[in-house]
Amino acid sequence: MSEIRNNILNESYQLVKTDCGLQIACYNMPGYNAVHAVFATNFGSVDRSFIMNGEKYDIPAGVAHFLEHKMFENEDGDAFDKYAKTGANANAFTSFDKTCYIFTATDRVDESLDILLNFVTTPYFTPQTVEKEQGIIGQEIKMYDDSANWRMLFGVLEGLFVNHTVRDDIAGTVESIAQITDKMLYDCAKAFYSPSQMLLSVAGNITLDTVLAACDRAGFKYETLEVERLYTEEPDEINYTEKSINMPVSVPLIAVGFKEKMSNPVTIREELCGEIIMDVLTGATSKLFNKLYDRNIVNGTFEGEVFCGTDYYATIISGETAYPDVLLKEIEMAIDELKKEGINEEDFFTSKNSMYGSMIVDFENVEEVATSIANSHFKGRTVYTALETLSAITLEDVNSQLQTMFRPDKRTVFTVMPMEGKDD
């Protein structure tokens, strides 16, 4: 067992690796009523090729998300029905790089932990249940296909990335999920849902002994596996510079994305410096946003973000606008001006202090703490790494990174325009 401490907060949490390889993080928060648990695997939508015990597996887009849906259904019933009896609020989600099964509870936490640890490690699939789920998720995919914001996000990602699977929808396509079989799901569960591939992160009014007792009751069955993820090499080039589609929207949407060249793996310093840069450039107090807002070129949907993972990094500026050409020109000029003049000290400290304050506040929320532990753990960091790194970042660090970003030849512009001849 190791205790991970932060002197700024004067807080700590415990990290334990059990005999079966499962890692447990327990962040005891006395005085809080709730407990939030995250049972996470480092298996997300980008993981499409791997070697397990010497055998290579290639899987279609959407398997991680499909598996997340199916894990709730076991031979002895649906996990949600069991949670209903304990009063826990349960859910799950699949992201690009992980899958998390979660619950929040104020009572009968032991029972909810038993449910969580049991159903996530006891896969049950048949050809019939897979076929049924293909229809359900197929409808979900079609629903997202009708979302202009969703189409815009993956449109700009498809433009920025040539080979990287981050360009593919997390849920896959109707065609890709049609290839999923029960054997494929069992193979992926074996590879990525074994205890040695997982983390149980728990925060709130709970002790490590309580969590360890639940793991003992679970009696995990496991075997030693060698799993290696395989990734397609991504060139520095982009896939396309611009693309536009028509959808039934009342106001056009535009996303301007830049493919950034960072370390591999991306460092937390690069991520945080990028977030400061994007906040100064496009945030609510930025010169660009207020200028555009005052001229009614943008509304509250305008935003800039850092979109990154272990081996990809992009910056995306997006929003609704009746004047996409004007907005694009204004973004270009704002970037040129910022790179020429650099970020000034006042803007730097305003952004940094705001981020720092938000991070501190997050440590007062059991859900944020447990989730942040999972997010950081699979990247080889602690939950305190971001806070500690941010405190040490200087204006020089940020301006140095700024000069490497927003390369004009690595830019994709994706627009969603209203249907021609329609006012809706």
How far is it, in rounded angstroms, from Cα 79 to Cα 252? 42
Residue 217's closest CA among 122, 110, 81? 110
DSSP 122: S
Query: What are the backbone dihedrals phi and psi of residue 7, each rounded to the nearest 5 degrees, phi first?
Result: -75, -25
304 in Cβ contact with 288 (< 8 Å): no
Q: Where are the alpha helices (DSSP H) in 219-365?
A: 268-282, 287-294, 324-341, 345-362
Query: What are the backbone dihedrals phi and psi of residue 178, each rounded to the nearest 5 degrees, phi first?
Result: -65, -20
How far is it, in rounded angstroms, from Cα 163 to Cα 233? 7
Provide the annotated active-site residues. 68
181 contact partners, CB below 8 Å, separation of at least 6: 127, 130
DSSP 394: -
Identify the helix (H) or strand (E) that includes residue 212: helix 208-218
Query: What are the backbone dihedrals phi and psi of residue 202, each rounded to the nearest 5 degrees, phi first?
Result: -130, 135
32 in Cβ contact with 366 (< 8 Å): yes
406 in Cβ contact with 315 (< 8 Å): yes
